[in-house]
C-alpha cells in the first residue's frame, strides 16, 4: 500500500505531525511526500527522510500527476495555501483514491468548501470541533460516513511517569464527582459523545474515554507546588498577535489581586498591537516577553498554568501548544471556543472560561490553591499521554487507508470547487456558496492564506486586475 502525501510544505504543525506519525506507524506502509514548494524549514522533511520515507519537491503539476498515478492512495494535506489550490485546480490527475486531511477547522475563515466532502473519497478533520460546522451538521447521515476525525497534535514524549509520587492523584470516580468552577461544557460532549475527547475516532463509532484511574503525580511536582515553577507560574506560548491571541489576555492579568510574573513565548513586534496593549496595563511589569524559543518543552516547564485565551473566530484546530502544555502537567485556562472545548475537560484537565473576567477568577483560584494545580495538572498529563499520541493517529490512518483500498480509483474534479484562477482560489477560502463576496479585513497582510499571500504566489495573474 503506497500512500502519496501531497502537501505545500512540511513546515510547522503539518511537518511535526507527520514526522511523529511516520515514526509511530504500526507497519511499514510505503509513504512518500511530494512538496509543492521548496522547503524553507527542512527540519521535519529531513526527519521524515531519516525515517526511510521519500520526500521530493514537485517539478511541475504534470510531475504531481505522474506521482499520483503510481500511488494507491493520494492524501492531500489540506489548508488555505495558494500552491495547494493551484495543484487541485490545474493538475491533470489520473484516476485516484483520495484523502483530504484538513489542517484548518473550517468553523470560521478560512472556510472549507462543502464540495470537498463529496469530491474526496475520505475527508478527515483534525478536531471534533469541526463537526459543529453548520453545513456538516446538515449533511445526511450516510454522507457523514465519509468524514473522520484524526488528531494531529501530540504531547511531548519522555515525560516522567505519573506514578513517581503514587497516591496523590484522584481516581476516575473522584474526578467525575468533584464540583468544578464554572459551568461551561464542551459543545461536542452530548452531540458527538464518541468524538468529544478529540481522540480521532471515525464518525459514528464510539471511542473510549482517555481518562484512566490516575496513579500518581508528575515527577518534579508536589502537592504544594514546585518552587522552580513559582518564578513564572503563568505562561503563554504561541502566536503573539491579536489575529489569534485574545487582547483580553492583558486585562485578565492586570485584574489579578496580587503581583505575578507571566511569560509570553513567541515573536512579538516591539511596535505592534500586542506590545502596546501590554505597555498600557496598570501593571506592565507583570508581563515578560520571552521571544521565540527552540525549546518549547523547556519554556513551558518553567510554569504551572498555561493561560491560552484565543479570539472567538481564530483559525486554529489541533492546538499543538495547548496539548504540549497539558502533556507537561500544566493546567490550561482557555476561553469557550470550539477547538479548545474539544480538548480541555472542564474542571478535570483544565478550566474553560466564558469571559475574560472569569479567566481572572480562575487564575486567582489556581494561584492560591497549589494542590488544585497539582491535581488538575496530573489529570491533564494523563489524558495527553493516552489521547494525544502519534501512535493512535497512525493506527487510525492505517485503518482508514485499508478501508479505502476496497474502493476502485476514480476521476476527481476539484476545479469545479476551487474555481479556475488565483482570485477564485483565494475567494474559495473566504466565502461559501451563495455568500456575498466582499473585501476581507486584514487580507493585505503578508501572512499565510491571506490575499497578499495568494498575490505573491501568482503576482502576474490577470485575475487580480
Local structure of 81: helix, strand or coil: coil
pLDDT at 199 over 70: no
Say what the pLDDT of residue 439 is: 62
Residue 448's pLDDT band (cuts 50, 70, 90): confident
CATH 3.40.50 holds for 2-153+392-458: yes
89: part of which helix (H) or strand (E)? helix 82-90
Beta bridge mates, 458: none
What pTM was estimated for this model as a whole? Answer: 0.84
Asked if residues 57 and 6 have their Cβ atoms less than 8 Å apart, the reply is: no
Quickly name the fold that domain 166-190+222-387 has.
Rossmann fold (3.40.50)
**Nearest C-alpha neighbor of 168 from the set 370, 387, 388, 385:** 370
Q: How far apart are CA 250 and CA 226, in angstroms?
A: 25
Spatial CA neighbour of 33 closest among 65, 69, 13, 8: 8
- What is the model's pLDDT at position 158? 60
pLDDT, tens digit, for every residue of 346-372? 999 999 999 999 999 999 999 999 999
pLDDT digits 0-9 by tens, 141-170: 999 999 999 999 999 986 543 333 233 233
pLDDT tops 70 at residue 228: no
- pLDDT tens, position by position, 28-63: 679 999 999 999 999 999 999 999 999 999 999 999
Q: Where are the domains of the chain?
A: 2-153+392-458, 166-190+222-387
Same fold across 2-153+392-458 and 166-190+222-387: yes
pLDDT for 121 equals 98
Is it the case that residue 443 has pLDDT exceeding 90? no
Give the span between the Cα atoms of 23 and 64, in whole angstroms. 25
More confident residue, 216 or 279: 279
Cell output for 371: 494542590
Whether 25 has a pLDDT exceeding 60, the answer reads yes
Amino acid at each position: 500500500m503506497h500512500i502519496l502525501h501531497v502537501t505545500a510544505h512540511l513546515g510547522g504543525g503539518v511537518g511535526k505531525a507527520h514526522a511523529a506519525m511516520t515514526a509511530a506507524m504500526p507497519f511499514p506502509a510505503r509513504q512518500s511526500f511530494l512538496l509543492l514548494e521548496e522547503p524553507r524549514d527542512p527540519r521535519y522533511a529531513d526527519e521524515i527522510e531519516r525515517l526511510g520515507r521519500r520526500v521530493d519537491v514537485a517539478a511541475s503539476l504534470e510531475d504531481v500527476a505522474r506521482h499520483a498515478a503510481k500511488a494507491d492512495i493520494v492524501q492531500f494535506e489540506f489548508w488555505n495555501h495558494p500552491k495547494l489550490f493551484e495543484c487541485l485546480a490545474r493538475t491533470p490527475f489520473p484516476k485516484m483514491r483520495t484523502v483530504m486531511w484538513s489542517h484548518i477547522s473550517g468553523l470560521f475563515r478560512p472556510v472549507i468548501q462543502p464540495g470537498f466532502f463529496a469530491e474526496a473519497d475520505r475527508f478527515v478533520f483534525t478536531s471534533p470541533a469541526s463537526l459543529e460546522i453548520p453545513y456538516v451538521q446538515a449533511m445526511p447521515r450516510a454522507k457523514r460516513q465519509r468524514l473522520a476525525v484524526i488528531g494531529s497534535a501530540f504531547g511531548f514524549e519522555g515525560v516522567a511517569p505519573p506514578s513517581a509520587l503514587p497516591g496523590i492523584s484522584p481516581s476516575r470516580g473522584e474526578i467525575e464527582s468533584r464540583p468544578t468552577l464554572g459551568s461551561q461544557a464542551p459543545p461536542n460532549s452530548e452531540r458527538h459523545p464518541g468524538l468529544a475527547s478529540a481522540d480521532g475516532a471515525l464518525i459514528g463509532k464510539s471511542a473510549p474515554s482517555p481518562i484512566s484511574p490516575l496513579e500518581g503525580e508528575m515527577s518534579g511536582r508536589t502537592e504544594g507546588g514546585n518552587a522552580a515553577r513559582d518564578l513564572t507560574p503563568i505562561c503563554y506560548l504561541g502566536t503573539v498577535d491579536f489575529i489569534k491571541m485574545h487582547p483580553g489576555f492583558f486585562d485578565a492579568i492586570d485584574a489579578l489581586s496580587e503581583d505575578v510574573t507571566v511569560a509570553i513565548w513567541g515573536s512579538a513586534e516591539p511596535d505592534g498591537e500586542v506590545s502596546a496593549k501590554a505597555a498600557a496595563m496598570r501593571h506592565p511589569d507583570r508581563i515578560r516577553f520571552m521571544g521565540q524559543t527552540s525549546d518549547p518543552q523547556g519554556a513551558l516547564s518553567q510554569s504551572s498554568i498555561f493561560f491560552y485565551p484565543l479570539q472567538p473566530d481564530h483559525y486554529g484546530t489541533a492546538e499543538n501548544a495547548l496539548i504540549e502544555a497539558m502533556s507537561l502537567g500544566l493546567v490550561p485556562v482557555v476561553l469557550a471556543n470550539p477547538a479548545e472545548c474539544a480538548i480541555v475537560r472542564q474542571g478535570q484537565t483544565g478550566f474553560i472560561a466564558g469571559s475574560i473576567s472569569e479567566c481572572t477568577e480562575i487564575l486567582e483560584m489556581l494561584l492560591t490553591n497549589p494542590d488544585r494545580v497539582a491535581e488538575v495538572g496530573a489529570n491533564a498529563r494523563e489524558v495527553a499521554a493516552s489521547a494525544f499520541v502519534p501512535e493512535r493517529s497512525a493506527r487510525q490512518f492505517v485503518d482508514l487507508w485499508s478501508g479505502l483500498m476496497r474502493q476502485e480509483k476514480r476521476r476527481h474534479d476539484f476545479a469545479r470547487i476551487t474555481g479556475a484562477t488565483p482570485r477564485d482560489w483565494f475567494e474559495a477560502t473566504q466565502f461559501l456558496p451563495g455568500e456575498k463576496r466582499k473585501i476581507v479585513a486584514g487580507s493585505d497582510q503578508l501572512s499565510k492564506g491571506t490575499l497578499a499571500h495568494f498575490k505573491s504566489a501568482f503576482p502576474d495573474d490577470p485575475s487580480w486586475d
